[in-house]
Every structure is written in C-alpha cells, then in structure tokens.
C-alpha cells in the first residue's frame, strides 16, 4: 500500500498541461495499491456537481480506471472547490472527507486539511468563508443556473486575486497558534493552500506543506508504510 498526498492542482480547461500532469500521476501510481489523498483546490473552480464538460469527463474516466485497478481516492474541499460534493466523487467511488481528518499510519496520527483554516490572520477571507460555506447559502447557490454560478465564480477569483496584491506574506500564511492547536492531538500535520512547499518543525512535531502544481512539476508526499521508520520528505513529480 502506498499513501499519496497532493493538493493545489487548480485543474481547469485553460491549463491542459496540468490536466495531463494529473493523468501522468494516476498512471505512475495505478499499480501500487495507492490511497490518493487530494487535500483541496483540486480544481481551479467548482460551480457544482451538475457541471459537465469533455475535459472533466476524461478525468472521471481516468479515475474510474484508477479505482478499478485497486486504488482509492479521498478528497477534502479547498477554498476554490468547496462546492464539490459526494455526487461527483461517486462516479469513481471516491470518498469525501471532512475539513479535517486524522489518518493513522504505523501508529502515527496524521492530521489532513486543506490549510485555509490555519490562516486565521487573513480576517477578510475567514469572514467570506464563513458566509459562502454556510449550508443555507450553498444550498441556494446549487439551485441557481450554471451560467450564474460561472459568473459568480469568475467574480470571486478576480476579487481574490486583487485582494492578495495588498496582503502581506505573513497575513496569507498560517498562524503559529492555529498550527499548535491543529497539532495538539496528532503527530504530523499535512496541508496545502499556502503554495509554500516545505517541512517545518513546531512543538517537536512536523508540519508538511504540499506544493502547488506548476507547468512542469509538483511537490508531493509519498508514504510507504512498509518502512519501519516512515520517511517523510516532499518529492518532486515532474510531468
């Protein structure tokens, strides 16, 4: 069994090379009995599980083959694809995880999350998240036409990009106290979101930040539980 952790792919029809890179990853690990954990921002935007398109159909087909080969896909929502639900994942027997999830490997407890909840200094974003992730708001949005949701998603992306131009590095990074709290009952914290791939030591424990996907490579985490001592290091995946 291989445990594979990725995040922040930001797949979209506008960046076909990223999509091809994801296909290459599935092919690479298809015959290794892989548990694939996608920790948010798998897609650059998600307007609803009722959205269909040829490029997305190809992804679903690839994941169906991946699952048929004896592998399993787990997914946590990110700030870009928080509307993605179990209905989409059911097409390839994927499993939707809660915003934070504890996985145990070789008696070590690993906490998985996207990472945006750790950026508590970004007050504006946290307020927006509280509103847009409200079940009543999400339920209402899912009933609106796809064209409206597409315009809304494009507007959110533009506003987010503009707001980031005026935010400091520290504000958009994780808050140390939030990390301490997240690590309280686990041994390792794994997340994405910040796009700052690294392995940090805090409170005598490890915080592993997965990398975002570029046009040629990504920083991923691969864990082989057969090793007596888990080797925890980020590995480049080139495509």
pLDDT, position 49? 95
Q: Where are the domains of the chain?
A: 2-238
Q: Full-prediction pTM beyond 0.85?
A: yes
- pLDDT the model gives residue 168: 65
With beta carbons less than 8 A apart as the criterion, state whether 37 and 77 touch.
no
Per-residue pLDDT of the chain (239 residues; tens, 9 = 90+): 999 999 999 999 999 999 999 999 999 999 999 999 999 999 999 999 999 999 999 999 999 999 999 999 999 999 999 999 999 999 999 999 999 999 999 999 999 999 999 999 999 899 999 999 999 998 898 889 988 988 888 887 776 666 666 566 666 799 999 999 999 999 999 999 999 999 999 888 999 999 999 878 899 999 998 876 677 889 999 98
DSSP, residue by residue, 152-207: HHHHHHHHHHHHHTTS-HHHHS--HHHHHHHTTT-SEEEE-SS---EEEEETTEEE
Q: Are 5 and 210 in contact (CB under 8 A)?
A: yes
pLDDT attached to residue 99: 97
Question: In this predicted structure, what is the pLDDT of residue 169?
Answer: 61
Count of Cβ atoms closer than 10 Å to residue 80 Cβ? 26
* CATH number among 3.60.21.10, 3.60.15.10, 1.10.8.350, 1.10.10.10, domain 2-238: 3.60.21.10
Give tens-digit pLDDT for 74-98.
Answer: 999 999 999 999 999 999 999 999 9
If one counts every other C-beta atom within 10 angstroms of the C-beta of residue 36, the result is: 21
In angstroms, rounded to a whole number, what is the distance separating the alpha carbons of residues 230 and 197? 19
């Amino acid at each position: 069994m291989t445990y594979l952790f990725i995040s922040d792919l930001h797949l979209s029809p506008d960046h076909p090379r990223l999509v091809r890179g994801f296909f290459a990853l599935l092919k690479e690990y298809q015959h290794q009995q892989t548990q694939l954990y996608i920790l948010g921002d798998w897609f650059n935007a998600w307007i609803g599980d009722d959205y269909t398109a040829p490029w997305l159909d190809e992804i679903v087909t690839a994941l169906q083959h991946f699952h048929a080969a004896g592998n399993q896909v787990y997914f946590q929502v990110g700030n870009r694809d928080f509307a993605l639900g179990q209905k989409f994942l059911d097409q390839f027997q994927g499993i939707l995880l809660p915003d934070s999830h504890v996985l145990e490997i070789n008696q070590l407890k690993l906490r998985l999350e996207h990472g945006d909840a750790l950026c508590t200094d970004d007050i504006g974003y946290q307020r927006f998240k509280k509103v847009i992730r409200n079940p009543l708001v999400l339920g209402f949005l899912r009933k609106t036409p796809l064209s409206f949701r597409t315009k809304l998603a494009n507007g959110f992306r533009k506003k987010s990009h503009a707001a980031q131009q005026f935010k400091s590095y520290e504000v958009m990074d994780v808050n140390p106290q939030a990390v301490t709290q997240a690590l309280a009952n686990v041994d390792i914290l794994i997340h994405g979101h910040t796009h700052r791939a690294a392995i940090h030591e805090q409170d005598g424990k490890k915080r592993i930040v997965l990398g975002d996907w570029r046009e040629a490579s990504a920083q991923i985490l691969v864990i082989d539980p057969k090793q007596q001592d888990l080797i925890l290091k980020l590995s480049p995946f080139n495509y």
